[in-house]
Amino acid sequence: MKAAFLATLLTLATAVSAVPQYTKPGKPEKLPPKGFVYPKGRELFIDGKTFYFGGTNTYYLYYAAKQDIDALFADAKKLNVKVLRTWLFAEAARDYYWDKSEFSPVTPDTQEIVWFQRFNNNTKKIEYNDSTHTGLGRFDYVLESAKRHGIKIIPVFTNNWNNFGGIDWYLQSFNQSGHPVKWHTDFYTYKPVKDAYKNWVSHVINRKSKITGKKYKEDPTVFAWELANEPRCMGWGTPWSTPEPGLCDSGKNAKVIINWADEMSTYIKTLDPHHMVMVGDEGQFNRPNGPGYNMVWDDVWNGASGVDTEAFLRLKNIDVGTFHSYFDYSWVNDAYKYVEKGNAPGADLDPIFSNNTATWIKEHAAVGKKVGKPVIFEEIGVEYRVGTPGYNLTTDTRRVKNMPIFNKLVEDLGLAGSMYWQLNSKWVRSPDGWYNGTDYHAIFAHPVREQDKYANIIMGNHNKRMWAKNSKKN
C-alpha cells in the first residue's frame, strides 16, 4: 500500500512483450517438511491437506511493543486470520535518508530509532543492525508470537515506495558511494545493487532466532517470502523515482522486473528450497487489448509500470500470484479518470468502483486458472469515508456493502486466499499516525469508532468460510 499515488499519464502501448514461459505447474517435485505450505495446481496445501485461508496485513509489527504484537495476533486469531503479511524492511535510519525527513520508526519504550540496514557514509558501506531491541532481532518475536497464535507470516524484503527506506534507499546509498545510479530501474538491473539486495535476503533467511534457536529458513511460521511490496519501474517522491528512459514507457520493456524476479526467486530457492516465493506485485497486466483497456487507468493493462502479473506467475520459482486493489484509488477503477475530468470523487462513483473491483478479481482468478498456479488477493482496502464531505456517511456502509461482494467472489472463483488491508488491534502508543490508525482502510478489532464495529462483516466471516473449505475438501 502506498499512501499517495501519482496519476501518471503514460503513452499507450502497442507492443506486446515476449515473455519467457518458465513454468511447469502441477505436482511439486518434492514435498516440503511438515507444516510448510506448498502449491499444487491452483491450490495450496499443508501436510497433504488443502490450505484455503483468509488473512490480513499489519505492516508495523517489527517496531511494535511486545504486548501490542500479542494483542494484534490474539485479535487476528479471533477473526480467523491464518496468514498475516508484514514488513521485513527498515532500511533508512532518519539521518541517513536522502532528505532526512522520512519517517523512521522508534521503539515504543526507549524511543530509539529502529533500523535493519543503513548506509555508513564514512565507510561507504551498508551496515546491518541485528539487535533484539532496535534491529532485525525484533522480528524473532513477531514470528514466535505468530506461531503461538496459529498464524503464518508473509515477510516482505523491501518496498517500491520510500516509506521506511525501500528501493530508493538502495539507490541513494550506492549513489553516495560513487556508483552511477540514477534511475529507479537501476535497482532491478545494476549488479552491485542487486548483490546488496541478495545479501539482505540471505542475511534474513539464514538468521537464527534468539527465541526459538531455529533459522528463519527452517521455520514453517513463514508462509512465503515476498520479493518486494508493489515493485514497479517507478517510485514516488525521491530523486531516484523515475525509470530509465525507454525502459518503461510502454509495455515493450516490461521484462526488466520479470528478469529481476526470476533471478531473485531462483536465488532464494538456492538458499531455502522449502518456502514458497511470491513477487508482491499489484497485479497489473501487460495486454494492450485486454478487457477494459480503454476503461481504466492505462498502466493497469499495458505493462507500462513494468509489471506483467501473468509473466511473474509463469516464472519457475514464483509459487503464488498476488494482486492488490484499492477501491478509492488506482488499479482497476476509474477514480483518476473521473477526477481528471473535474469531478469530485464522491458517493455517486461507488457503484462504478464496485463493478471494476469485481472485474479485477475475476481477471486474476482467470490468470490463476490459465497458468495453473494459486493466486491470492493480497491487499484489498475500502475507505470508510465516514464524515468525508461528498459522502454524507455516518455509518460504514461502503465497506459493509462492498466487502461481502468481493469476499464472495474470492470464495466462488477459487482464489487460494485474500487479505484485507489492514488490521489494527486498538489505539496504541505510536510514533506515527499510521500506527494509530489514520490509515482510512484500517479496522480496529477493539471498536472505538462506529466504523470499527464491522470487522466480522468485512473480514471475519469470510476468513471463517475460507478455512471451512479445507474441512469440506479433506
Q: Would you please indicate which residues are annotated as catalytic (active-site) residues?
A: 230, 379
Q: How far is the CB of 465 from ligand NAG (least distance, A)?
A: 24
Nearer to ligand NAG, 176 or 456 (CB): 176
Q: How far is the CB of 235 from ligand NAG (least distance, A)?
A: 12
Instruction: Give yes or no for residue 121 binding ligand NAG (CB under 6 A).
Output: yes
Q: How far is the CB of 132 from ligand NAG (least distance, A)?
A: 10
Do 190 and 174 contact (CB within 8 A), yes or no?
yes
Cβ neighbours for 286, distance < 8 A, ≥ 6 positions apart: 13, 16, 17, 19, 251, 254, 301, 302, 303, 307, 308, 310, 311
Q: Which stretch binds ligand NAG (CB under 6 A): 211-219, 266-274, 303-311, 350-358?
A: 350-358
Q: Which stretch binds ligand NAG (CB under 6 A): 60-68, 130-138, 264-272, 316-324?
A: 130-138
Name the helix (H) or strand (E) containing 381.
Answer: strand 375-381
Q: Quick one: three-class SS letters along 437-469?
A: CCCCCCEECCCCCHHHCCHHHHHHHHHHHHHHH
Nearer to ligand NAG, 187 or 225 (CB): 187
Q: How far is the CB of 90 from ligand NAG (least distance, A)?
A: 10
Nearer to ligand NAG, 49 or 429 (CB): 429
Q: Looking only at residues 419 through 458 of this chain, which bind ligand NAG when binding is defined by CB under 6 A?
A: 427, 429-430, 436
**Of the residues 145, 175, 333, 418, which one makes contact with ligand NAG according to CB under 6 A:** 175
Instruction: Give yes or no for residue 117 binding ligand NAG (CB under 6 A).
Output: no
Q: What is the dihedral of CA 223, 227, 233, 238, to 10 degrees?
A: 100
DSSP single-letter state for residue 412: H
Lay out the site mask for ligand NAG across 138-167 (x = CB under 6 A, - = otherwise).
------------------------------
Instruction: Give yes or no for residue 279 binding ligand NAG (CB under 6 A).
Output: no
Q: Quick one: three-class SS letters along 238-271?
A: CCCCCCCCCCCCCHHHCHHHHHHHHHHHHHHHHH
Residue at grid coordinates 506486446:
16
Using alpha carbons, select from 216, 260, 257 the residue that is nearest to residue 233: 257
Q: Which stretch binds ligand NAG (CB under 6 A): 70-78, 83-91, 111-119, 143-151?
A: 111-119
Residues forming a β-bridge with 443? 423
Q: Which three cell numbers stand for residue 390?
A: 461528498
Helix (H, G, I), strand (E, B) or coil at 138: helix
Residues forming a β-bridge with 321? 375
Nearer to ligand NAG, 28 or 433 (CB): 433
Nearer to ligand NAG, 31 or 352 (CB): 352
Q: d(Cα 409, Cα 359) in Å, to the nearest integer?
A: 10
Instruction: Give yes or no for residue 351 binding ligand NAG (CB under 6 A).
Output: yes
Q: Which stretch binds ligand NAG (CB under 6 A): 12-20, 41-49, 128-136, 215-223?
A: 128-136
Cβ neighbours for 233, distance < 8 A, ≥ 6 positions apart: 184, 185, 243, 247, 248, 256, 257, 304, 305, 306
Nearer to ligand NAG, 14 or 121 (CB): 121
Q: Looking only at residues 308 through 347 of this chain, which bind ligand NAG when binding is defined by CB under 6 A?
A: 346-347
Cβ neighbours for 21, distance < 8 A, ≥ 6 positions apart: 314
Q: How far is the CB of 455 from ligand NAG (least distance, A)?
A: 18
Q: Looking only at residues 1 through 40 of this chain, which bind ligand NAG when binding is defined by CB under 6 A?
A: none
Q: Which stretch binds ligand NAG (CB under 6 A): 30-38, 47-55, 109-117, 266-274?
A: 109-117
| Half-sphere CA count of 93, side-chain side, radius 13 A | 19
Nearer to ligand NAG, 135 or 292 (CB): 135
Instruction: Give yes or no for residue 129 binding ligand NAG (CB under 6 A).
Output: yes
**Of the residues 32, 41, 135, 404, which one makes contact with ligand NAG according to CB under 6 A:** 135
Do 114 and 104 contact (CB within 8 A), yes or no?
yes
Name the helix (H) or strand (E) containing 49.
Answer: strand 49-50
Lay out the site mask for ligand NAG across 234-253 (x = CB under 6 A, - = otherwise).
-----x--------------
Lay out the site mask for ligand NAG across 363-392 (x = CB under 6 A, - = otherwise).
---------------------------x-x
| Dihedral sign for Cα atoms in the order 263, 264, 269, 275 | negative
Q: d(Cα 468, Cα 63) in Å, to the nearest integer?
A: 33
Q: d(Cα 243, Cα 227) in Å, to the nearest integer?
A: 19
Residues that bind ligand NAG (CB under 6 A): 112-113, 115, 121, 129, 131, 134-135, 175-176, 239, 346-347, 351-352, 355, 390, 392, 427, 429-430, 436
